[in-house]
Amino acid sequence: MEERRIECKVLKRIREKKELTPQELQFITKVAKEELKFLARNNIPLTPENYVLWFEIFCYIMENNLNLSDLEIIGLFKEKYPTSEKVESILVSVDPEEKEIIRKVSEKIVEEVNTLIETLETHNRNIEEKEASFKEIREKVSDNTVKELLGKILSELSDIKKQNEDLKSKLEEANAQINKLTSELEETRKEASTDFLTQVANRASFDRAISDLVNDFYKRNYPFVLLMIDIDHFKKINDTYGHQAGDFVLRELARLLKSQLRARDIIARYGGEEFAILLPGITFSQAIRVAERLRRTVEKHLFKYGDREIPVTVSIGVAPMREGLDETSLVEKADKALYLAKRSGRNQVKTDLDVELEE
């Protein structure tokens, strides 16, 4: 018997980096709603990991129009993820795009739940008004049959009100769980794109950002410039003052550089003691002035670790995005300019044009 493939076509499209249609995004929201009901009903914690694993199951169910009991759904989960190793392999492969989809869906569901809670509150206020009105009428009528009928109506209104209160309570609880999930996803996203030591963007985040800017350059001729920055004699700093002092220098330098940039500029730790800065919407000459300002700021800054002052300077390579370049060749040009700055005595700014003149 052929083994069935339990997979979600929509998630497959996300993993292939294909743009989703509005209908597919709407479908994802429906899947998420059914999944949330199931997780809440079965007391399964709403963690990002659980959300991702169960989403694939519910997506498969809805794509194939299956009508399954909770027990059968759990059986499907065990079939899809028979071992803890299989679960781990799936979670390791989850990329930021999928988490971003989950975050958007969560936000939409929260919005809908909040609207529903407001509707229930309005409905309950209306019921209370009707109850008060019926009680007043019952007090005024003398006919026992009418009184009995009004009593039944009041009893039913009271039951409806209680059911609404129970539903509201459950919705508020689900809302709190979804908000927690959204918060955890945001934290996960932040951790996935931030360098732990320096708290600026990491290499993966930089790669995504430069790719976006290159695409923008070719689509609408939007300029940007890349700066590659390296700490001069960093090994000597580590050897002289210790690795903890070296970590302090990296953190303080990242903070200092970031403080000198615009909100839309992107600074990332490229690797080791090297940083990369993307300057969107800026000319080549403006970028050279920015690089020189950064170099002087670092040179004048007091890097004090404990009671010791650490002299720190940086070398900077500058390369603007030009026709015919891609991400790799642009980084190579900025790197060559950086190495020229180091060969020329360090604590300098050099550009890709300086490299061409040297050659």
**Structure-block tokens of residue 238:** 């580590």
pLDDT at 38: 80
pLDDT band of residue 31 (cuts 50, 70, 90) is: confident
pLDDT tens for 96-154 read 555 555 555 555 555 655 665 666 677 667 777 776 776 776 676 666 666 676 677 76
pLDDT tens for 147-195 read 676 677 767 767 677 766 766 666 666 666 666 666 655 555 555 578 8
pLDDT tens for 41-99 read 766 666 666 777 788 889 899 999 998 887 788 888 888 877 656 555 554 444 555 55
Task: Name the amino acid, one letter, at 145.
Answer: T
Average pLDDT over the chain reads 80
| Residue 16: closest CA among 116, 97, 70 | 97
**Structure-block tokens of residue 43:** 């007391």
| Residue 211: closest CA among 332, 328, 324 | 328
pTM for this model (two decimals):
0.53
Q: What is the mean pLDDT of residues 340-359?
A: 92
Rg, Å, the chain Cα set: 30
Task: Name the amino acid, one letter, at 293.
Answer: R
Instruction: Concatenate the DSSP letters of all residues of 118-175 into one string.
Output: HHHHHHHHHHHHHHHHHHHHHHH---HHHHHHHHHHHHHHHHHHHHHHHHHHHHHHHH
Give the active site residue among 19, 121, 273, 358. 273
**Structure-block tokens of residue 87:** 């679960």
Say whether 100 is catalytic. Answer: no
CB distance 182 to 110 below 8 Å:
yes
Pairing verdict, β 224-231 and 266-271: unpaired
Burial of 246 per CB tally in 10 Å (0-12, 13-18, 19+): buried
